[in-house]
Amino acid sequence: MPKAWQRPYAAYLFDLDGTLVDTAPDIGVALNHALATAGIDPVSTELTRHWVGHGARVLIEQAIQHHETNHGVPPDKLEVEPLLEVFLDHYADHLTDTSTFYPTVEATLRQLKERGAKLAVVTNKMASLSEPLVRQMGAWDTFDVVVCGDSTAHPKPHPESVLLT
């Protein structure tokens, strides 16, 4: 009997950032670009990786709090919205400058597809960023569906996006 990870399933759903694709370097560059417009020192890719899982707004908020902790600037003097706009604009133009699939992802997806499995991306990233990212990575035709953070009223972990998939 095959082990649980060896069982063939009819469909596989994958998160995008940090699961299929290492997007942290490009997100970090966009974050540091936005921070620079406010005179905030750049942050490391490791910090970006740590903060990125809760969305762009929280990423910016965390960077502002980090700056306050290290430089004593109150966060109310640094506004999130203008930085978020700069971040999103820059990131949209540089989605895949350095982003890469994690090792074995491409081979695994190809193998699952060859078995006849349906493949989907279910991400909290907005469609305006997710869909171009998947296309630019050359994987659009690999997936039967891409469900994004704005595809449903409630993002993950709410089950709505999985049910839509």
Q: What is the pLDDT of residue 53?
A: 85
Phi, psi for residue 62 in degrees, rounded to 5: -65, -40
Tell me which of 15, 22, 41, 150 is the catalytic residue.
Answer: 15
The answer to whether residue 76 scores a pLDDT higher than 80 is no
Phi, psi for residue 79 in degrees, rounded to 5: -90, 140
- How remote is the C-alpha of 42 from its chain's centroid? 20
Q: What is the pLDDT of residue 79?
A: 86
The answer to whether residue 2 scores a pLDDT higher than 90 is no
> pLDDT of 100-159, one tens digit each?
999 999 999 999 999 999 999 999 999 999 999 999 999 999 999 999 999 999 989 999
> pLDDT of 86-111, one tens digit each?
999 999 999 999 999 999 999 999 99
Q: What is the pTM of this model?
A: 0.90
* Of 124, 155, 129, the residue nearest 14 (C-alpha): 124
More confident site: 71 or 44: 44
- Please indicate whether residue 15 is annotated as part of the active site: yes
Q: What is the pLDDT of residue 69?
A: 86
